[in-house]
């Protein structure tokens, strides 16, 4: 195995050999990563590949990760639930989550025998943090006849208090599968409001929001249309209702990618986290991406140096208490029995 050269500080170095070994990655991301930045990224890309082999590890990268991570070191990419499910199917001993904490928990729930590492313990989620297991129990007391449908963007403890989970793509299907007049739908208020427009089931909503998606406005979308009359607007259902009303398509991150592949628009706005446009642009070079750049500060806590250190030190390990994991797993499995759709 070729070893990446290191500086005295232990950080990997840029060399002609590293440039050669990472040339194919540079060619892939050249459209979205400035070439002048590549000597900074490439040594880490090269070293992470080496350490993945040493640890029998896979790196999972959510759609919102920076392109040097998404295209440079990830073995599995996609939405949060798909990452965990695909990782469970591998023979890897170690999973490194390039995402946020609830995603690492979900990976551990579905792969209890694997070591799951989180490169930065502070990579959280405003939506997941908006609700606790105690909140769910109180809602059950208030609405004892209503089953609890919980978005996968929640902690393991919240999932464990739920009857069934859902993704942004299958939420309507999951709600209607329960065949009841009313459900408690948690925690994203805007996703819940969107689902309410697609079903006759009454939804009891929580006021949780994604700090990225809640900042978009309908006026902003209309401004994009004035500047680019031919633009196709694709919005995530975690956005406010006026944003969804002003958009051409509403769907999950995976749904957006599928829509672009099917329609092949000449110009598109993805109304979601900014880095996704960079990652999708690599796959669709003939489509121009107009970027409304709302970045997720939690996703951006994950960097190549942190992924490398995580593999080297085998930290930070994510654990879920077995009883909680089992109950949370049942809620996920009930959703899968309904039909997954595509996730966030």
Residue 266 near residue 288, CB atoms below 8 Å: yes
Helix (H, G, I), strand (E, B), or coil: what is residue 232? strand
pLDDT on residue 341: 46
* Res 342: pLDDT: 44
Asked whether residue 272 is assigned to any structural domain, the reply reads yes
pTM: 0.93
Residue 144 has pLDDT above 80, yes or no: yes
Looking at the fold, whether 241 and 325 belong to one and the same domain comes out as no
User: What torsion, rounded to 10 degrees, do the Cα atoms 157, 160, 164, 166 define?
Assistant: 20
With contact defined as beta carbons under 8 Å apart, do 256 and 287 qualify?
no
pLDDT above 60 for 1: no
Q: Are residues 331 and 195 in the same domain?
A: yes
Chain centre distance of CA 50: 25
SS3 141: helix
pLDDT at 343 over 50: no
Report yes or no on 4 lying in a domain.
no
pLDDT of residue 340: 46
Cβ-based neighbour number of residue 207 at 10 Å: 11
Residue 326 pLDDT > 90, yes or no? yes
Q: Are 224 and 208 in contact (CB under 8 A)?
A: no
| 203 plus 235 within the same structural domain | no
Give yes or no for residue 209 having a pLDDT over 80. Answer: yes
Same domain, 180 and 277: no
Nearest partner of 254 among 160, 161, 169, 143, judged by Cα: 169
Question: Which domain, by its residues, includes 84?
Answer: 16-125+299-313
Residue-level pLDDT at 4: 73
* 29 upstream amide cis, omega within 30 of 0: no
In a domain, 11, yes or no: no
Whether the predicted pLDDT of 3 surpasses 90: no
Q: What is the pLDDT of residues 36-81, one digit of tens each?
A: 999 999 999 999 999 999 999 999 999 999 999 999 999 999 998 9
Residues 203, 137 share a domain: yes
- Asked if residue 184 and residue 329 are part of one domain, the reply reads yes
Does residue 198 fall inside a structural domain?
Answer: yes
Residue positions counted in the chain: 344
Is 9 inside any structural domain? no
170 pLDDT above the threshold of 60: yes
Identify whether residues 119 and 22 lie together within a single domain: yes
CATH no. for residue 274? 3.40.50.10800
Same domain as 181, residue 268: no
Mean pLDDT of 99-103: 97
Beta strands in the chain (DSSP E): 57-62, 76-78, 94-98, 115-117, 148-151, 164-166, 182-186, 202-205, 232-235, 249-250, 267-271, 288-290
Residues 137 and 162 in one domain: yes
What's the chain's average pLDDT? 94
Check pLDDT > 60 for residue 239: yes
Predicted confidence (pLDDT) at residue 339 exceeds the cutoff of 90 = no
Give the model confidence (pLDDT) of 262-302 as tens digits: 999 999 999 999 999 999 999 999 999 998 878 999 999 99
Q: Are residues 229 and 326 in the same domain?
A: no
Does residue 324 share a domain with residue 180?
yes
């Amino acid at each position: 195995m070729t070893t990446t050269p290191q500086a005295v500080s232990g950080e990997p170095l840029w060399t002609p050999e590293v440039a050669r070994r990472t040339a194919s990655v540079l060619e892939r991301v050249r459209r979205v990563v400035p070439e002048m930045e590549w000597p900074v990224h490439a040594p880490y890309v090269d070293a992470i590949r080496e350490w993945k082999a040493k640890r029998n590890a896979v790196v999972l990268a959510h759609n919102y990760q920076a392109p040097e991570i998404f295209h440079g070191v990830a073995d599995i990419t996609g939405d949060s639930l798909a990452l965990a499910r695909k990782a469970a199917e591998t023979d890897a001993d170690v999973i490194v989550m390039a995402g946020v904490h609830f995603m690492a928990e979900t990976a551990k729930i579905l792969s209890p025998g694997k070591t799951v590492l989180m490169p930065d313990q502070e990579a959280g989620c405003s939506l997941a943090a908006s609700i606790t297991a105690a909140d769910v129990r109180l809602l059950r007391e208030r609405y004892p006849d209503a089953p609890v449908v919980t978005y996968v963007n929640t902690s393991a403890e919240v999932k464990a208090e739920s009857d069934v989970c859902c993704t942004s793509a299958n939420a309507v299907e999951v709600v209607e599968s329960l065949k009841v007049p009313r459900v408690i739908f948690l925690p994203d208020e805007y996703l819940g409001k969107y689902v309410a427009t697609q079903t006759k089931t009454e939804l009891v909503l929580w006021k949780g929001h994604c700090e990225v998606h809640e900042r978009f406005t309908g006026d902003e979308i209309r401004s994009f249309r004035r500047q680019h009359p031919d633009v196709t607007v694709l919005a995530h259902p975690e956005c406010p209702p006026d944003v969804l009303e002003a958009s051409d398509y509403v769907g999950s991150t995976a749904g957006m990618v599928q829509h672009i592949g099917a329609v092949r628009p000449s110009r598109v706005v993805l109304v979601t986290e900014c880095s996704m446009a960079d990652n999708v642009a690599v796959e669709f070079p003939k489509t121009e991406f107009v970027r409304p750049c709302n970045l997720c500060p939690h996703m951006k806590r994950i960097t190549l140096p942190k992924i490398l250190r995580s593999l080297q030190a085998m930290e930070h390990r994510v654990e879920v208490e077995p009883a909680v994991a089992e109950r949370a797993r049942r809620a996920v499995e009930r959703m899968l029995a309904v039909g997954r759709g595509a996730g966030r």
